[in-house]
Structure 1
């Protein structure tokens, strides 16, 4: 069957899964004038999630003077919960934010396809799974895409709009418009494992974690990442915030997708696995190694990894230089994106660090550096 997609005027948004991420997405939409209907598994969850993530969260903002009672009442009135797919049929856009289990997500999308009109836009907020695979049971795949928010979704401004091969122009344009009207910064990304930003961040912490040991403690690696990237909060701190279980599983997923590809990917270090299995966080207190030579070894490995994967992403048409630069600075709060870092370092020096990353087995050699092309990036 040939489906015709017409650009939707999104007014009502459905959310599948109203946990931390789904609730933040819903609050962001409601605060920007959209009606929101969220689905949970049972009536108890519908009530408890609303009480926790809507009433309590907004009530705290009112108490702190960050929101008026009138604004809270308006947002609360725009959000309602349900236990059935039937009540999502009136939604113009449905965002899946369930737990990261592929079989569950595929089942959800099949049920949504059966319950909703054929022009309802259906998207996933998955962090790593390929959108085309998730949507295999959806009729009219032109109305499907990825809409990847970053934690916390009501604060972090970046959204990756992921076009799988079937995504129509009208669906893509509607999602870009929706993102902007939610005061987000959308970037365009091709369907690819982890999309654009996660491959950079995940490979960064896998490389950094691999140095953890007697010489490099958590505080030292945090300090080194702060120095290398010019950030206030380093990579070790961010991992602790997201949880080492999340970091470990995301790393395993990316390795499974890319390690044996023509791109490659750093292995998951045993150090991260042990911390996760021990239910620990990185200890960021303690003495910080100051020896410049020892710190440079880690900085070179970290930057070589970032430069390699960033180049691969552009060469594979996953994302443009401009959007990747914007995305990294927005989502990760790095003051400089990977291509600015490369241009400022000088491409001869960059090539040395890329070679070190390749020699270490982190990545395959990007075509740009394999050909000896040392022209600066066009920003």
Structure 2
């Protein structure tokens, strides 16, 4: 198996910094790459030194441990300084052309066996790695926000990814105290298709009948979560949410999976520059109206999850684990279906398919399937 000791991180931003800091804390040597020396210093002071000093001040880390971690981290503005890295994780902004160029630039300076991985959340790994020499050493390594807290990592295989590369990334993730799941290359991978379609369907109801507070409460009740979907969107940013929705719709709407339309309310709210106002009035007290939204939300989750299994994007076990770990839902989608009964689950799937949100999964095409083995 490929040995990983030195890790390069492209993009010294919130996500990149957290990924690198996590690796350094677990004993890896880390080299951050940014556009210029001034940015390298500013980001180091903010995301490494500043973040670790807060941990020391709170008693979560000793000064000696901080000094050890800082000693493992350096920064550079020159790709050539990444020549000796065993693994490089790209965590640049979500622009496909930029990411493709980054990998082409890396390919010129790193060893032929250096593993090249992208932390993209929606782009196909195969597309990003086109033209890279020795594509067997390329893969996706998708961390979830916030990367210093969220334990899930999707280890993504594209068609060319070798067993050695995949196994090295699974071992690297585990050594970083993460929960890795195996995912085959697919738009959005495994977890994002579930979460993005969930908020798209929910956001589409926003308007005269349903305020943001009501929609947030419906998601809390439907999923048994402490923090609702609208609250989570405010934390991750509506710009990110809107662009991810548009990207997923473009990828899948006309496929044999299907995907919901981009919600106009999400677009309008994003363009306003404000998050959802979760104090925007009382929560609706109309059981029938609340049920309409809850059924579409659950039907959406059940349908996309079934498609992901049928497409061999992810195993049922890993999808169940991934949803519970990344999204903090107490039950995964398959346990939820079993709990409510497959007849009711089939009714909800049929309902969202008839509304044109998805195509019918084969599992449900013949009527009510047997309960899932969870």
Q: Tell me if TM exceeds 0.5.
A: yes
Matched, 1:336 2:321: no
Q: Which of 146, 149, 174 is matched with 1:155 structurally?
A: 149
Question: Residues 100 and 126 of structure 1 are in contact (CA less than 8 Å); yes or no, is this contact kept in structure 2?
Answer: yes
Of the candidates 230, 246, 252, which is equivalent to residue 246 of structure 2?
252
Q: Could you state the TM-score of these two structures normalised by the residue count of structure 1?
A: 0.98
Corresponding residue of 1:3: none
Question: 1:227 aligned to 215, 221, 224, which one?
Answer: 221
For 2:176 and 2:89, how far apart are their aligned partners in 1? 14
Q: Give the alignment partner of residue 107 of structure 2, picking from 109, 113, 135.
A: 113
1:170 corresponds to 2:164: yes
Contact 2:346 2:368 survives alignment (8 Å): no
Q: What does 1:174-185 correspond to in 2, within 5 Å?
A: 174-185=168-179
Looking at structure 2, the residues matched to 373 and 274 of structure 1 have their Cα atoms a distance apart, in angstroms, of 39
Aligned equivalents of 1:140 and 1:232: distance in 2? 45
Normalised to the residue count of structure 2, the TM-score between the two structures is 0.99
Aligned to 1:94: 88
1:375 aligns with 2:370: yes
Cα root mean square deviation, aligned: 0.7
SS of the aligned residue for 1:28 comes to helix
Any idea what the Cα deviations from partners look like across 1:50-70, whole Å, max 9, x if unmatched?
Answer: 000001111111111121111
Which deviates more from structure 2 when the two are superposed, residues 21-30 or residues 366-375?
Answer: 366-375
Instruction: For residue 373 of structure 1, report the CA deviation from its aligned partner.
Output: 4.7
- Partner of 2:192, secondary structure, is helix
Counterpart-to-counterpart distance in 2, 1:149 and 1:281: 24
Partner residue of 2:294 out of 276, 296, 299: 299
After superposition, what is the alpha-carbon deviation per residue over 1:257-293, rounded to whole angstroms, capped at 9, x for unaligned?
0000000000111100000111111111120012211
Asked if the contact 1:123/1:144 (under 8 Å) is kept, the reply is yes
Q: Which of 202, 218, 224 is matched with 2:196 structurally?
A: 202
- Deviation at residue 346 of structure 1 after TM alignment: 0.5
Partner in structure 2 of residue 325 of structure 1: 320
Determine the structure 1 residue equivalent to 2:352. Answer: 357
User: Does 1:288 pair with 2:283?
Assistant: yes
Displaced runs of 4+ in structure 1, greater than 3 A? none
Asked if structure 2 preserves the Cα contact closer than 8 Å seen for 1:113 and 1:137, the reply is no
Aligned-pair CA distance for 1:133 = 0.6
Aligned length: 373
After superposition, where does 1:137-156 map in structure 2 within 5 Å? Answer: 137-156=131-150
Structure 1, unaligned runs of 5 or more: 1-6
Distance 1:373 1:133 in 2: 38
Q: Is the 8 A contact 1:106 1:137 kept in 2?
A: no
